Structure 1
Amino acid sequence: MGQFPRASPHSHGMVSRHFRKGPPPKVTRAATGVEKRIEFEENVGSLQVMHNKELEVNIRKKLQGVELSPSLYDTAWVAMVSERGSPQAPCYPQCIESILQNQHDDGSWGINPSSSSVDKDILLSTLACVVALKRWNVGPYHIKRGLNFIGRNFSVAMDVKTIAPVGFIITFSGLISLAAGIGLRLPVIQIYIDEIFHLRKIELERLAN
């Protein structure tokens, strides 16, 4: 195919004389098909944009008014942080207050107080909250109730058939060690504690392989 003649740099935007003569170009079926396809794709793109906007609006409507409370397990870990330069003072005392105010009647901390069953997430949250309170020697009554809950339900932690949070046995055994390090004794026989650390060893070996 030949090349289109270029406009002269001195034409100042005027149409080249090569294009001022002759009949207008014919529109072929192929060209018409391309235009229709482009128009179709543009319409599809517009519909997708509209759909995404409608979806975004619907999601925003559903989220309005929903209150998302922070995990008490996470709150407990933050509560353990000491003030910089003052290891005997908590950096976030409001987290300790939140723990004190959110203990359930059965002595636990967690997100499922209405259920009759105890899961590993609640057991983990309760142990973390007890350790956080003991860390600052506050809430002795809360600590006692929390320990009693852990003692009554410790078998849940050893039940391999019970659904557990990711890395539960590693974290739970770590909290047991942390509790022992600050003088907190769990009302659990030693054979159960040994079983937890045995499960921890198995899990670490599995992860290593």
Structure 2
Amino acid sequence: MFNNVDLTVSSYHTAWVAMVPSPNSLKDPFFPECLNWLLGLHFIESNLASATDEEQQSPVGFDIIFPSMIESAMNLDMNLPQQGSTLDAIFQRRGFEL
């Protein structure tokens, strides 16, 4: 049944799966390979500016959800690229949406 399934990689959805906590520790991911994939590709660093690009299409609710994901990562002391002006713009957009 699943022999001919064609799946594309979605960094956004992979990030959601990476946030599922381990049943053993809420601070550890249940699927660490998803987190490693995102960080290993330097996904956040290379794509952070596109989060504020007005021409970029994004999923419904992205301007509210994505900043919360960043805050969660920061609270876990993850080593995220600190691009101050871009992060400020992301959080500002969330403020406008709320």
Aligned residues between the structures: 94
Q: Distance in 1 between matches of 2:93 and 2:73?
A: 18
Q: Distance in 1 between matches of 2:27 and 2:83?
A: 33
Q: Whose Rg is larger? A: 1
Partner of 1:72: 14
The one of 7, 19, 22 aligned to 1:82? 22
Query: CA 1:66–1:151 in 2, change beyond 3 Å: closer, same or farther?
Result: same
Query: Which consecutive aligned stretches of 4+ in structure 1 deviate over 6 angstroms post-superposition?
Result: none
Partner of 1:167: 61
Partner of 2:76: 182
Gaps in structure 1 of 5+ consecutive residues: 1-62, 101-128, 131-138, 205-209
Greater relative contact order structure (CA < 8 Å, 6+ sep): 2
Query: CA 1:189–1:65 in 2, change beyond 3 Å: closer, same or farther?
Result: closer
Structure 2 contact 15–38 (Cα < 8 Å) conserved: no
Identical amino acids, percent of aligned pairs: 26
Q: Distance in 1 between matches of 2:16 and 2:43?
A: 19
Query: CA 1:170–1:65 in 2, change beyond 3 Å: closer, same or farther?
Result: same
TM-score normalised by the chain length of structure 1: 0.37
**Pairing 1:19-168 to 2, within 5 Å after superposition:** 66-67=4-5, 69=7, 71-77=13-19, 80-83=20-23, 86-87=24-25, 93=30, 95-96=31-32, 100=33, 129-130=34-35, 139=36, 142=37, 144-146=39-41, 148-168=42-62
Gaps in structure 2 of 5+ consecutive residues: none
TM-score normalised by the chain length of structure 2: 0.69
The CA deviation string for residues 108-146 of structure 1, in whole angstroms up to 9 with x for no partner, is: xxxxxxxxxxxxxxxxxxxxx43xxxxxxxx5xx56534
What SS does structure 2 have at the residue aligned with 1:186? coil
What SS does structure 2 have at the residue aligned with 1:184? coil
What SS does structure 2 have at the residue aligned with 1:183? coil
What SS does structure 1 have at the residue aligned with 2:77? coil
Structure 1 contact 170–200 (Cα < 8 Å) conserved: yes
The CA deviation string for residues 16-45 of structure 1, in whole angstroms up to 9 with x for no partner, is: xxxxxxxxxxxxxxxxxxxxxxxxxxxxxx
